[in-house]
Chain A
């Protein structure tokens, strides 16, 4: 069966090239991909690429405090003399961690519940799952996060927990809508009549067809979660000083606006960059994973 294997790999590489073509047709997707790669690179290698890695923690250098952007400090320094560029690079770490942790907490339960509810549409299973979802969706998200984060001790972990709690219903809703349509497709009927197990139908027949919208949403949500995380940090419920959270940095810097503008503006731009990057990447993924033929 060597020949079949060879053919298989040829087909796979053909599929890959086709996907890349679909993705790269839109230049904005490429910009998104580049931005996200850059941010991930900077975050991962922050200790190496940051000019002053020690500035990411408690560090004081009053001699160089509040310096405007110059050659030694490209983004300037804050009021205690820490390099803003270095702190932004480390800030990316917390932002990305926030996004990754929240999404990995949120996606599996949301997707599974949505799949089950969608497949059993119209039965009591559907009612229980989807009404619970509705209850969560009825609470204003930021308020819920604020409530949780303030009841518990304000730290990054609790912020992530709070955001996760208000995020899973969206995945449940998304997958529910998809699954309840897909279950009427004839390939599901075909698997059922042949005697396939429920597990097979849910995870092998229906789920693969939900992957594209899920990935797209995940990429877009990365941006949103980071934004909410930054908002929580901004109001003091997220990343705690002296650690460099992008939101915390904007909050601190805002006190010195407009004279020492660089303290707030560069972290704010960093947030824009991350969120925009993930959004553009999400659009590209949607183009790429769409089933339409080119």
Chain B
């Protein structure tokens, strides 16, 4: 099913701005965005280039774990069977890589971060995402909520291949793809923003492709 929705920037997050609150935004069920429209400076590709900052981690599902840690140290974790037991969605989304390729209407299956963070109490406004292999990336917590982000484990009807981030990756398609951390293993909730791997080496802190936020200062 193809869902044509606008770009997600109209979402309001007022509820969360009022300090300590349960993160849950309810289950709005918007399963993704596809525009078939190129952000500035991008070109369309139909293949799926593999970009990697290091060796591809081979993560066994039996040993896989996803951990959310809050600013108070509270820890929530899911093993593979627990992740599979959660309700999933099948978003169809456009991907925009900062190296200038975009790929339209990619099909995924994964668990919405709204579901995973439903029972997590936090006053954090920022998230630092950690991957197997040591990669990190940061983004505002609100960009993980309201149907904008998933822990994705299937792509194009197949289990997610290791070179594309399998067994599971973050999928945050409204930001440049370096934010969609492959081989995700944890999300650290923080009161202060903390730059990740590329954000501390010149890339933009937020990375909105529609505003062409590639580098610091853009």
Partners in one complex: no
The chain B residues found within 8 Å of chain A, CB to CB, are: none
